[in-house]
Copies of this chain bind each other. A is one copy, B any other.
Amino acid sequence: MCLPAQNPEETIEPMMLYMGKLAREAAGELALASTDAKNGALGRMAAALEAGAEKILMANSQDIEAAKKKGRDAAFLDRLRLDASRVAAMATGLREIAKLPDPVGDTISSWTRPNGLEISRVRVPLGVIGMIYESRPNVTSDASGLCLKSGNAVILRSGSESFLTSLVISNILTEAITASGLPAAAIQLVPSVDRSAVGFMLGGLGGAIDVIVPRGGKSLVERVQEDARVSVFAHLEGVCHVYVDKGADLDMARDIVVNAKMRRTGICGAAETLLVDRTIASTSLVPLVDALIEAGCEVRGDDETQSADARVKPATDEDWATEYLAPIMSVKLVDGLDEAVAHIEHYGSQHTDAIVTNDQDVARAFLARVDSAIVLHNASTQFADGGEFGMGAEIGIATGRFHARGPVGLEQLTTSKYVVRGTGQTRP
């Protein structure tokens, strides 16, 4: 006798819907959990990760083996790999989150109306977060900690390559959470690597998911932004610019440009394009290009930049729109602020852009006119990071205009409600 062939989607959909239901119930409990209860759980979670390090590393080595067999490259394996210090860092991360102020219950503003009504706007959790990520297994722990502290339930969808590691981590965390008296479904890992699970999450699981946070490559984020039927906190890419104005101090400009590009080339806040005011081309272009090349950066430039240094390769139109995430920078001369702003508007990604100048008026105009989540004056674009902003950990960076713009930390994982206290007022 044969069993009927089974379509995985048919078994996955009811499971996903059930996870959504559990998450929604857990969110109801978490929304009312005290700060102490949440911090206690975070402490237990950290200790449990440390105690379970050996199990985590065993699972991780299996994931690594499988990824090697699939021919994944060194960068991928590095993102996937855990060691004792990386597990310890995950635990430390949770303890840091415990130390951050609890946003839930915060009064954002309050006022009294002439009729005596006391109105306050109070932070409450968003509800249920859907986290879809790829190879970094530490996201399991980081996202769980941030969601728990902000009173949200989270449904985690780990990439298939890090699935075993994520599974062991999430089991350890769930055990610690239940031991703390908080609901087990506060964090749930989708127990399947079938791709249809992502589709169901993007559909919102029948209203159970409030927001999707994708963490991974451009193709993942693109798919999420295309297909999600619920809100998304994400940035597709960071084509970040540094504009060196004629009023810039050359030494400062050189330091900022090299740091913005080369400190770490693989992060979204790394600069990709250098715009130089044509007025100072004769004095500044050669030193800036030279500093980049000396630092190990390939420079692709417009005609004038190519003329300035023989090592500069030609930039195509595609270069201006490219997030290299690599030691490559495109360089272009522009006719002052107007052309710089127009270039950023046309080719940028509304992520992070910087100006270097000592002219305060030009700086003010740049900061006002460039329509990006983060704009900087005389500082490196690599500061585009929740930690560097002093917000504690971040679950991602958003370039959308709604709700969360820039680093997404605890505060951005909340919404608000209006609480109105009266003494019997009726409306005339």
Q: Which residues of A contact B (CB under 8 A)?
A: 28, 31-32, 111, 113, 117, 119, 124, 126-127, 210-211, 231, 249, 252, 255-256, 258-260, 263, 363, 367-369, 371-380, 382-383, 388-390, 401-403, 405-406, 415-427
Contact = CB atoms under 8 A, between A and B. Distances in A.
26 contacts: A32-B368, A32-B369, A113-B389, A231-B402, A249-B424, A255-B424, A256-B426, A259-B427, A363-B421, A371-B417, A374-B418, A374-B420, A375-B417, A378-B421, A378-B423, A378-B424, A379-B422, A383-B420, A383-B425, A383-B427, A389-B418, A402-B402, A403-B403, A405-B417, A405-B418, A406-B417
Closest 3 CB pairs of A and B: A379-B422, A259-B426, A252-B424
A374 B427 contact: no
Given A383-B117, A423-B378, A426-B382, A372 B417 contact: yes
Most B-side CB within 10 Å, residue of A369, A373, A377: A377
Nearest to A427: B382
A373 B420 CA distance: 11
Nearest to A126: B401
B263 A380 contact: no
- Taking chain A's interface residues, is the majority helix, strand, or loop, or is none over half, making it mixed? mixed
Contact of A403 (B258, B377, B402): B402
Contact of A422 (B32, B377, B415): B377
Contacts of A388: 113, 117, 427
Contacts of A127: 401
A97 to B, nearest CB: 19
Contacts of A263: 426-427
A390 B111 contact: yes
Contact of A402 (B32, B111, B211, B418): B211
B427 A378 contact: no
Contacts of A417: 371-375, 405-406
Nearest to A428: B263
A367 B419 contact: yes
B405 A415 contact: yes
Nearest to A210: B401
Contacts of A369: 32
Contacts of A383: 117, 420, 425, 427
A415 B383 CA distance: 21
A259 B260 CA distance: 61
A401 B404 CA distance: 12
Contacts of A117: 379, 383, 388
A321 to B, nearest CB: 15
Contacts of A210: 401-402
A377 B415 contact: no
Given A256-B424, A401-B127, A418 B119 contact: no
Given A382-B427, A402-B211, A124 B371 contact: yes
A422 B376 contact: yes
A404 to B, nearest CB: 9
Contacts of A113: 388-390
Contact of A416 (B31, B405, B427): B405
Most B Cβ at <10 Å: residue of A260, A371, A380, A427: A427
Most buried by B among A374, A383, A423: A383
